[in-house]
């Protein structure tokens, strides 16, 4: 009784079909799951965090469905724990050596830099190979050389050109990353253009300048008002009057809030535009093609409110923000599926080291394809 005996079921359609992405995660359920796992991780001094990671991911993946099939996160906690332990040992040795002997630490940092492409490859491999849809796993076929060129050399080009080439560099990096992902052994194609990245950056630049102009006008009006009001108060010689001190503090807070607001605004606009561009040009031959219609205004609103939630809950509101974002992005995405998706064969086996991903995480090279 092997699965190959399964008859041609479900009468798969002969032509392509369009499907939406359903996300059924709930804020309260995910909050409970996330918090309990966080607390268990803390009281086990982090050992449980490997299980926590798997369970959090399983929740988010499992609640994402296309055509009634759930995504699956298949990583084994013990695999992650092992990778994490190796990474921690390495991290401690690095920390200790570099504080004892900066020269030796510098040498280690250089070695680490050379190791980085390998860590990135391993990390992406681990994540993608443990992601599956309809029993078929994703994978990553990037190489050390390719990652070295795209992730280490191209950013240098970006900096040398005074960031003028940076949008192009980012476009090349993302194209490389996506195009080396596979599903059921079939490679992805990403037809993005650098022009769209420049457009997004220019728009963000425009918004940023406009926002700063508006802010400066507000500030000068506010400042004049403050000066007038403090002038009317009797001040002690040389000391700031109470009114002036208060308006100074308010002005200071106002400045911080405005700049945070502007930076979230810009990053949301950029993320939304690039997300649309990527997901409107991503496909795997004969299997699927994605479409994304992220509306910038609501997306910006979502990102700013999410930032406020994280800020005012000291990070504990993270699960709520995660569900909100996931729901929003799922609703903005559709997939065109080709008949071949019903006949894919799994080409990936499950054994793969988690060290790359863990080490990459510890040394701050976080990457993901979402």
Partner 1 sequence: MNDQHSVTGLYQAGNSSHSTPARAMVTERQVVIYQQQGGQPVMSAVHGDYRFSEAIAGLPVDLIFADNSRFIPDDAGYRWKHLSKSQTITEWLETHWSAVLVAAVFLPFFLWFMVAVVIPASSNVVAESLPQVVADELGQQSLTIIDAAYMEPSELAASEQENIRQRWHDILQRLNIPPDTYSLQFRRWNHGANAMALADGTVIVTDSIARLMKDNPQQLDAVLLHEIGHVEHKHSLKILTQSTVTSLLFAMMFGDVEGMGEIMLGAGTGLAQASFSRDMERDADQFAFQELQSLGRSPQDFADAMRALEASHPLRIAAGQSDCTQDCDNNSTEPGFFDYLSSHPATEERIRAAEALAEKQKMQQ
Question: Least distance (Å) from partner 1 to the CB of residue 99?
Answer: 6
Cα gap 41→47, rounded to integer Å: 6
Rg (CA), the chain: 25
Question: Least distance (Å) from partner 1 to the CB of residue 210?
Answer: 29
CB nearer partner 1, residue 94 or residue 215: 94
CB nearer partner 1, residue 12 or residue 251: 12
Coil vs helix vs strand at 307? helix
CB nearer partner 1, residue 56 or residue 283: 56
Can you give the binding site for partner 1, defined by CB under 8 A? Answer: 1-7, 9-10, 24-26, 29, 32-33, 35-43, 45-47, 49, 52-55, 58-59, 62-63, 68-70, 88, 91-92, 95-96, 99-102, 134-136, 184, 310, 314-316, 318, 321, 341-346, 361-362
Cα gap 226→245, rounded to integer Å: 10
CB nearer partner 1, residue 8 or residue 162: 8
Residue with tokens 């002038």: 231
Question: Least distance (Å) from partner 1 to the CB of residue 101?
Answer: 6
Cα gap 268→103, rounded to integer Å: 41
Cα gap 190→173, rounded to integer Å: 11
Question: Least distance (Å) from partner 1 to the CB of residue 236?
Answer: 17
What DSSP assignment string belongs to 115-168? HHHHHHHHHHHHHHHTEEETTEEEEE---HHHHIIIIIIHHHHHHHTTTTTHHH
Cα gap 188→71, rounded to integer Å: 18
CB nearer partner 1, residue 170 or residue 348: 348
CB nearer partner 1, residue 45 or residue 228: 45
Coil vs helix vs strand at 20? strand
Question: Least distance (Å) from partner 1 to the CB of residue 345?
Answer: 5
């Amino acid at each position: 009784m092997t699965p190959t005996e399964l008859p041609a079921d479900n009468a798969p359609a002969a032509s392509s079909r369009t499907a939406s992405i359903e996300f059924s995660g709930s804020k309260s359920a995910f909050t409970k799951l996330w918090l309990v796992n966080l607390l268990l991780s803390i009281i086990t001094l982090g050992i449980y965090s490997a299980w926590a990671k798997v369970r959090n991911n399983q929740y988010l993946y499992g609640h994402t469905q296309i055509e009634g099939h759930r995504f699956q996160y298949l990583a084994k906690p013990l695999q992650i724990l092992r990778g994490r332990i190796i990474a921690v040992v390495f991290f401690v040795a690095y920390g200790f050596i570099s504080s004892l002997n900066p020269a030796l630490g510098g040498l280690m940092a250089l070695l680490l830099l050379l190791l980085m492409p390998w860590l990135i490859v391993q990390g992406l491999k681990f994540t993608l190979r443990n992601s599956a849809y309809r029993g078929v796993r994703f994978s990553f076929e990037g190489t050390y050389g390719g990652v070295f060129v795209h992730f280490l050399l191209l950013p240098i080009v970006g900096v040398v050109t005074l960031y003028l080439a940076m949008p192009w560099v980012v476009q090349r990096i993302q194209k490389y990353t996506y195009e080396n992902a596979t599903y059921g052994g079939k490679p992805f194609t990403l037809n993005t253009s650098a022009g769209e990245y420049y457009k997004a950056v220019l728009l963000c630049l425009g918004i940023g300048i406009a926002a700063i102009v508006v802010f400066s006008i507000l500030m000068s009006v506010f400042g004049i008002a403050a000066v007038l009001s403090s002038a009317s108060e009797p001040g002690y010689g040389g000391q700031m009057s109470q009114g002036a001190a208060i308006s100074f503090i308010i002005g200071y807070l106002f400045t911080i809030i405005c700049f945070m607001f502007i930076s979230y605004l810009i990053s949301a606009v950029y993320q939304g535009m690039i997300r649309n561009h990527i997901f409107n040009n991503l496909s795997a031959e004969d299997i699927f093609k994605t479409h994304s219609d992220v509306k910038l205004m609501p997306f910006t609103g979502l990102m700013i409110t999410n930032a406020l939630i994280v800020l005012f809950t000291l990070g504990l509101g993270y699960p709520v923000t995660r569900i909100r974002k996931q729901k929003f992005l799922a609703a903005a995405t559709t997939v065109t599926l080709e008949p071949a998706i019903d006949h894919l064969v799994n080409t990936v086996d499950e054994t793969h080291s988690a060290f790359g991903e863990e080490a990459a995480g510890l040394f701050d090279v976080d990457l993901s394809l979402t």
